[in-house]
Amino acid sequence: MHAFANPARFLKIARPMTPVFGWLGAALILAGVYAGLFVTPPDYLQGETVRIMYIHVPAAWLGMAGWSGIAIASITQLVWRHPLAGVAARAIAVPGALFTALCLMTGSLWGRPAWGTWWEWDGRMTSMLVLLFLYFGYISLANASEDRTSVSRVTAIFGIVGAINIPIINRSVVWWKSLHQGPSITLKGSTIAPELLWPLGLTTLGFSLLFSAIVLMRMRANLAEAKVEARLRRLASA
């Protein structure tokens, strides 16, 4: 873990990997969206509206994965004091919030024709909305610190405690009766027809790579900003 603790060593790897992740992710997203819109057939029950899942499902996955990443980075910061942990957590927060918001918006668009309502205060949708508010809270706490290379201890603890919501989101459709459909993809297999499923793999991988590229770009920007600020402080004190 500490092999990449040196920011210079991290940047040496992050610089070439950022465009690789970004362009490969964009290509997979375009391929998956094209296939989902023009190649796959409509669903026998949901018709054309099922195509929203090629955006909605990756957005939901990345909203939850983003906070999981924040929690892991927060533990790493508090326990091992890894110097890049706070940078990573800070960098994850904004794209995590964006994908969570995208999940909620596409879910509403999907729910209107499927359920006859834009919104329902059921377990899945409510817990996902709570996740968005958690992101907003984390971003506010992180921005309260002027140190771009870390986050405060309170912010890190908030990142860990907020992870309690992740299993609630995951199991909400099992624990409570809901308009939202049950788990479609589990370790035991998938209830989605194979001819509809394969573009979802492309968009999920594509958005995941794009998410990684955004996080790397934000980490690099935060490190560069911190370097400039440190240089200005040295000049001011000279």
Query: Sorting pLDDT into bands at 50, 70 and 90, what band is 4?
Result: low
Residues 6+ away with beta carbon under 8 Å from 178: 120, 122, 123, 124, 172
Mean pLDDT of 52-60: 97
**pLDDT at res. 187:** 74
Q: Is the dihedral of CA 4, 68, 216, 209 positive or negative?
A: positive
Mean pLDDT of 18-29: 98
For residue range 60-103, list pLDDT tens digits in order.
Answer: 999 999 999 999 999 999 999 988 999 999 999 999 999 999 99
More confident residue, 4 or 66: 66
3-state secondary structure of 192: coil
For residue range 133-188, list pLDDT tens digits in order.
Answer: 999 999 999 999 878 788 999 999 999 999 999 999 999 988 887 778 878 878 77
Residue 203 structure tokens: 């968009």
Mean pLDDT of 41-54: 92
More confident residue, 227 or 138: 138
CATH architecture of 18-40+47-178+197-237: Up-down Bundle (1.20)
Domain ranges of the chain: 18-40+47-178+197-237
**pLDDT at res. 150:** 85
3-state secondary structure of 185: strand
**pLDDT at res. 85:** 95
pLDDT of 5 > 70? The answer is: no
pLDDT of 232 > 80? The answer is: no
Torsion of CA 137, 59, 4, 153, to 10 degrees: 10
